[in-house]
Amino acid sequence: MINEKLEKAFNDQINKELYSEYLYLAMQAYFERLNLKGFVNWFTVQVQEEHAHAMGMFDYVHQRGGRVELEAIEKPVTNWTSPLHCFEEVLKHEEFVTSRINALMDVADEVKDRAALSFLDWYLKEQVEEESTVGDVLATLKLIKDDSKALLMLDKDLAARTFTAPVIG
């Protein structure tokens, strides 16, 4: 049976993961408006990943005999001024998610739930990968500056990204 404090922390993180999905869906819509289909694809995959992350935790809480309680999902900010600005916000968000995974692990450690720590280790490794991937796109966008041809080349590269359902835990 999952500890009550840990269950609450997992429910909070499920909300954060669903917010991430919602935020990236808003970013996907932004790139639709810009007609940058490769970026749209990148965010489509990101939306799928965040949904999988939320559902992994959702399933875990149930497997441990806990109760999932869904809360309202906050409305995401949608006022990006450029692809660069958007990806700067993505990196900030991924760093925030990493801090929240660390905080969740702190609770698991506090209540001495080794199974939860083992489960969450996958999420922590995933966050390292997420921040690195976003950092790579961000670095390229900084190099591109206002070069529309280079932006279209990056857009073409991002169109190749595919979703592979993760094996969580």
The pLDDT tens digits of the residues spanning 85-141 come to 999 999 999 999 999 999 999 999 999 999 999 999 999 999 999 999 999 999 999
Cα 99 to Cα 32: distance, rounded to the nearest angstrom: 30
Domain positions in the chain are 4-158
pLDDT digits (tens, 9 = 90+) for 143-155: 999 999 999 999 9
Report the C-alpha dihedral over residues 46, 57, 135, 150, rounded to 10 degrees: 0
The per-residue pLDDT for range 5-44, each reduced to its tens digit, is 999 999 999 999 999 999 999 999 999 999 999 999 999 9
Structure-block tokens of residue 166? 């993760």
What is 4-158's CATH topology? Ferritin (1.20.1260)
Closest listed residue to residue 22, CA positions, set 74, 85, 81: 74
Full 3-state SS string of the chain: CCCHHHHHHHHHHHHHHHHHHHHHHHHHHHHHHHCCHHHHHHHHHHHHHHHHHHHHHHHHHHHCCCCCCCCCCCCCCCCCCCHHHHHHHHHHHHHHHHHHHHHHHHHHHHCCCHHHHHHHHHHHHHHHHHHHHHHHHHHHHHHHCCCHHHHHHHHHHHCCCCCCCCCCC
Structure pTM? 0.96
